[in-house]
Amino acid sequence: DAGVTQSPTHLIKTRGQHVTLRCSPISGHKSVSWYQQVLGQGPQFIFQYYEKEERGRGNFPDRFSARQFPNYSSELNVNALLLGDSALYLCASSFSPNTEAFFGQGTRLTVV
């Protein structure tokens, strides 16, 4: 069975650019969450979507946005990239908010 898939696996962007990260949840899972993991730290919650609606938002600036599509896949968008946005971005899916979350391998974003 396919797990949570994220694309791309790595990318390099320049300060001020925009980036879109993609996530496909495990088949049958309707909830997708996004996390940012800076090197040497635990993941920090960015967004949760369930049934295509935003259900939670972490303490991130408005440059960060996301959406969930009818097939439950999701995109995370970051505008006006800063050097400090360099991190591993993790997507997690769960059947519902009452069940455990399974993580993808992440997208490593480097901003130069």
Partner 1 sequence: AQSVTQPDIHITVSEGASLELRCNYSYGATPYLFWYVQSPGQGLQLLLKYFSGDTLVQGIKGFEAEFKRSQSSFNLRKPSVHWSDAAEYFCAVGARGFSGGYNKLIFGAGTRLAVHP
Note the residues at the interface with partner 1 (CB under 8 A).
Answer: 4, 33, 35, 41-45, 48, 55-56, 58, 90, 92, 96-106, 108
SS3 content of the chain, % helix, strand, coil (to 5): 5, 50, 45
- We find the least distance from the C-beta atom of residue 30 to partner 1, in angstroms, to be 12
Query: Which letter, b or e, does each residue of 81-107 get, where b requires 16 or more Cβ atoms within 10 Å of its Cβ?
Result: beeebbbbbbbbbbeeeeeebeebebb
- We find the least distance from the C-beta atom of residue 36 to partner 1, in angstroms, to be 11
CB nearer to partner 1: pick between 15 and 55: 55
- We find the least distance from the C-beta atom of residue 16 to partner 1, in angstroms, to be 27
Q: Which amino acid is at 60?
A: F
